[in-house]
Structure 1
Amino acid sequence: MTLSNFGIAGVQMYVSASHDNVERMGGYMQHIRKRFPWVRMVLFPELCPLGPGRDKAEPLPGPTEDRLRELARETGLWLIPGSMFEAVDTPQGTVVYNTTPVIDPHGDVVARCRKLFPFRPYEEGVEGGTEFCVFDVPDVGRFGVSICYDMWFPETTRSLVALGAEVILHPTMTDTIDRDVELAIARASAVTNQVYFFDINGVGDGGVGRSIVCDPSGYVLHESQAGDEIVAIDVDLQRVRRERERGLRTLGQPLKSFRDRACDFPVYERRATDGYLQSLGPLVKPT
């Protein structure tokens, strides 16, 4: 039997850049297990376990991921622990990715999502991933993962939804003055793709807070302020399926219209960037 409702808790928490945050994450998970027994999945902000220092990059699997796996196993919860910097040895040297593992309630890693769009030119020395990340929760539905700046590229969310995602899990670490813009992007991403969108930010060294959860009709289910907060939401996946069939608010059916489109999008061909986009100059920090 396929379940319709599924509890997800986003944790907007203080993220330290100088200290390990894994123990505090475990405390939140234990609290959620007791306080919200209907929650089955927990999502933390980007770079939450070890903070935003690239010098803390580890291979995956690795020691920190093993600790996170144990937290999932102890609590019996699905865990998307934000992300970590992943160190990969290559013949040319060590390559670093911004990666979040997806850990099931048994403590097994079922997927790893590498951030597709590092926040260049500021997120220096980090390579972009090349694969879209979706995974299935048995008897529930399909979930997609993207990380922070990925949201600014609507092709990312559209691709995850085209792969069947009904919920987008989006850890972020926004500590800049454009957070208000991201709130609009999160809502637009939800409604144009008829999907639940969980955009969970950190506080302290991990961001300015203001996490947001939007439903497939574009309604804001919750917007946090600037402090620590547990955002526990019971999503209704049957509603996603019904609205994709009948239209959001029984109106537009954007996924079907996209599927049945008459136009092509030549901008997505690499050669299309040889014109105007090349004239914008190199991707560098302003001076």
Structure 2
Amino acid sequence: MKIALYQMHVIPGEPEKNIEKINQWLDELDDEIDIAVLPEMWNTSYRLNELTELADEDGQRILPFLERKAKEIHKHIVAGSIAYKKGNEIYNRTIVVNNEGKCINTYDKAHLVPMFNEHHFLTSGSKKSTVYELDEIEMGTIICYDLRFPELTRSLALEDAKVIFVPAQWPKSRIDHWKVLLRARAIENQVYMVACNSVGACDDNEFGGHSLAYAPDGTLIDSLYYEEDTLIVDIDFESQEKIREAIPIFNSLRTDLY
């Protein structure tokens, strides 16, 4: 399975320009790509004080675009996350659309970042992320700061997720944490961690790039650096099964103790 990640320089406060960028990027993907992955908050970036005006109300603009585009190019789209407005609430919502143009999964970011005062502008999700299937493979998505809470990733692994996507706008100043946390989540859950970060800046926040993928044994498959670019990773599920057979961690879980 081939996966393309768009390490995108999101234009702050310009949803239409960002849609245009993504439309062009999707058009340029090779036919062999199965899944296209986008970063966090790609419609608005972190213009939090402008989200009331900028957020996509009920997904009316972005969801039809993603559904049409996925069907047109016949690729699954793990559409990072967007600022999504529902009533008076604004969520950081991930959307997954399959290659038939059907939205099959959504999740609202559960853990809001206190250092960015996200809770002043966004509503945290009230339901946990759930597993979905693409090409009959179980997958899941967490968003950026969720990565610091291992319980969420473990819950997806216990639902038999083989791949976990992490769209983010992770800061450059903490990019070492990004790499260590992703590798730890891969090893402890024996899953592929496929993480799509953005680059550039929004006001005083500089994003760190380093979109990457770790194998279930913690091996780095590939990584980008600080420029806008595309990362292509190839996922091998046979090797994942061998890793799980060699160290069957889930058979040793002590659910009677924790």
TM-score, normalized by length of structure 2?
Answer: 0.89
Displacement of 1:229 in angstroms is 1.6
Code of the aligned partner of 1:69: E
- Residue 59 of structure 2 contacts residue 84 of structure 2 at CA under 8 Å; is this kept in 1? no
Cross-structure match for 2:132: 135
Amino acid at match of 1:9: A
Give, in whole Å, the separation in 2 of the partners of 1:116 and 1:164. 21
Alpha carbons 2:76, 2:134 under 8 Å: kept: no
Please name the residue that 1:184 is paired with. 180
The equivalences for 1:1-287 within 5 A come to 6-20=1-15, 21-33=18-30, 37-53=31-47, 54-55=51-52, 56-89=54-87, 94-122=88-116, 123=118, 124-129=120-125, 130-138=127-135, 140-205=136-201, 207-247=207-247, 253-258=248-253, 260=254, 263-264=257-258
Query: Which amino acid letter does the alignment assign opposite residue 179 of structure 1?
Result: I
SS at match of 1:178: helix
Please report how far the alpha carbon of residue 176 of structure 1 lies from its aligned counterpart in structure 2 after TM superposition: 4.3
Which AA in structure 2 matches 1:161?
Answer: A
Query: Shift of the alpha carbon at 1:52?
Result: 2.7
Report the secondary structure of 1:165's partner residue: coil
Farther off after superposition, 123-132 or 39-48: 123-132
Unaligned runs of 5+ in 2: none
In structure 1, list runs of 5 or more residues that go unmatched: 1-5, 248-252, 265-287
Give the TM-score, by structure 1 length. 0.81
Distance in 2 between the 1:97 and 1:18 partners? 16
Q: Is the 8 A contact 1:198 1:213 kept in 2?
A: yes
d(CA) in 2 for partners of 1:223, 1:213: 7
Amino acid at match of 1:134: V
Cα drift, residue 242 of structure 1: 2.6
* Counterpart residue identity of residue 237, structure 1: F
Identity of aligned residues (%): 24
Residue 134 to residue 59, structure 1, CA distance change in 2 (3 Å): farther
Are 1:151 and 1:157, in contact at CA under 8 Å, matched by a contact in 2? yes
RMSD of the alignment, in Å?
1.6
Deviation per CA, 1:140-199: give whole Å up to 9, x if none.
Answer: 310011000000000010001111100001100013411111110000000110000011
Q: Report the counterpart of residue 267 of structure 1 in structure 2.
A: none
Amino acid in the other structure paired with 2:105: A
Alpha-carbon distance in structure 1 between the residues aligned to 2:68 and 2:109:
24
Which segment is superposed worse, 39-48 or 24-33?
A: 24-33
In 1, Cα distance between the equivalents of 2:230 and 2:251? 35
> Could you list the per-position Cα deviations for residues 187-218 of structure 1 after superposition, in whole angstroms to 9, with x for gaps in the alignment?
00001100000111001136221112100010
Q: CA shift at 1:78, angstroms?
A: 0.5
* Aligned residue-pair number: 245
Conserved in 2, the CA contact under 8 Å of 1:141 and 1:237? no
Q: Distance in 2 between matches of 1:177 and 1:257?
A: 37
Q: CA deviation at 1:262?
A: 5.1
Partners of 2:148 and 2:214 lie apart in 1 by 16
Name 1:282's counterpart in structure 2.
Answer: none
Does structure 1 conserve the Cα–Cα contact (< 8 Å) formed by 2:142 and 2:164? yes
